[in-house]
Chains A and B, each alone.
Chain A
Amino acid sequence: MDVITPQNLQEALEELAKDPCAGVLAGGTDLLVKWKSNTINPPRVFTILGLQELNFIREEEGRLCIGPLVTHQDLAESAVVQRHAPLLAKACAQVGSLQIRNRGTIGGNLVTASPAGDTIPALVVLNASVVLQSAQGERQVPLREFITGPGKTVLQPGELLTAVSFPCMEATEVGFYRKLGQRQAMAISIVNLALKATLENAVIKDISIACGSVGPTVVELKRTANRLKGHSLDTSELRNIVVNAGDETNPISDIRASEEYRRQMVGELLYEGLQSLRRQSAG
């Protein structure tokens, strides 16, 4: 595997156009592991980690724009992210270990498209979209449409993910993120769940719920979200509404957990999330 270091974004895009099958290396926390286990063996990879043009966190016209090379640790610690999207900061803090968070990037997490990816449900409830750039031009794709299956995205050969952005959370919006793993570090999620809701006097006006690790891609609990709308977070009905939320998901049994457990945990994490929203709205 040859490692080539383009000096700027333009050069990276031109090189990628010439050799669209080359790998793209950012923090290496996925690529190197797959390469070492012989899952992949690209003859050439372009390391883009040094490209400062792709390492930024900016607030632009009410949106938060994040460069793909921002690491999970930088996002977890960023005051801007904590203010405008605290659930994303929380999700990033749950990734791997400190050593992994220091290297692994948000762009890498999205392109890897793991069904268990920790940042993906958070970005989905935030209505994120990604910018895909090639030597020919660029296009913007909603994150919901970007990932199409385990490890599969609509990224075309020659294209690079160059930004992810979403609307900053409003003052009336509250969020929640929770990852359930076998331990708190270095664990692949059994279930992860993100929530974003608009509240008015503790009544749910609007809510989006997304969970990972319970289907081939992130699953949005639209039916449950619709049933929750209009209810007060103080109602004793909440538990009944969310108890079967897992029915909307399509998990598998694997080494980490059974299908049944995952389904049940979706409802539990959602209930925990609603309790958290209630505390946030109270105080």
Chain B
Amino acid sequence: MQKKILKFKLNGELMELLVSPSDTLVDVVRDKLGLTGTKKGCGKGECGACTVIMNGQSVNSCIVPAMQAMDAEVETIEGIGTSDKMHPLQETFIDYGAIQCGFCTPGMIMSAKALLDGNLSPSRLQIKETIAGNICRCTGYVKIEQAVLAAADKLKASKDK
């Protein structure tokens, strides 16, 4: 199959690379661009481990054909914070013990970030609906919910400053 040029913005940086038309976004991000923070779980849009933010919305990158990311803005877990300067969600996930094995965490955080980007005062129900497509088999969802609420408070506080 003839390869095609894909151009898109990944974590604010313009990317231009050759992909196979049948590649999915998760494969491009992980295997071609080496950003392995995004996890690949079920590979069929069921588990949410591969969640990234595309044009402001959370999507399952395992069922997004790479060619549909043309000219899009994509954010992955690598783009939102570093170990020196973490995103408030990354801090609160640690503070609240909202992580155990960590496999669902990048997807969970990206879903939560997509919510908080548009709403700094989410209700518990909104948080639950937001992460309903992200499966966690370790912690249960209570701590994750608490961490998202706490991150919202942090973000609000820093915005009000």
Contacts and interface: CB of A to CB of B under 8 A. Distances in A.
Contacts of B130: 98
A33 interface: yes
Contacts of B45: 29, 32-33, 96, 99-100
Contact of B48 (A32, A36, A97): A97
A100 B60 contact: yes
Contacts of A36: 43-44, 63
A11 to B, nearest CB: 16
B59 interface: yes
B92 interface: no
A186 B67 contact: no
B68 A99 contact: no
Given A1-B21, A185-B132, A28 B43 contact: no
A103 B62 CA distance: 12
A215 B59 CA distance: 31
B57 interface: yes
Contact of B63 (A5, A33, A47, A184): A33
A25 B51 CA distance: 20
Contacts of B2: 2
A33 B134 CA distance: 17
Q: Interface size for chain A: under 10, 10 to 19, 20 to 34, or 35 or more residues?
A: 20 to 34
Most chain A CB inside 10 Å of its own CB: which residue of B2, B70, B133: B133
Contacts of A28: 63-65, 68
B68 to A, nearest CB: 6
B23 to A, nearest CB: 9
Nearest to B2: A2
B22 interface: yes
Contacts of A29: 45, 63
B115 to A, nearest CB: 9
A281 interface: no
Nearest to A73: B57
B24 interface: yes
Contacts of B4: 3
A185 B58 CA distance: 15
B44 A98 contact: no
Contacts of A50: 68, 70
B160 interface: no
Interface string A6-33: 0000000000000000000100110011
Contacts of B84: none
Interface in B5-60: 21-22, 24, 43-46, 48, 51, 57-60
A97 B57 CA distance: 12
Given A5-B67, A33-B45, A37-B44, A97 B132 contact: yes
Contacts of A153: none
Given A3-B21, A102-B59, 14 more contacts: A1-B22, A3-B68, A5-B67, A5-B70, A25-B65, A28-B68, A97-B48, A97-B133, A98-B58, A98-B133, A99-B58, A99-B133, A100-B45, A103-B59
Interface of A: 1-3, 5, 25, 28-29, 32-33, 35-37, 47, 49-50, 73, 96-100, 102-103, 184-186
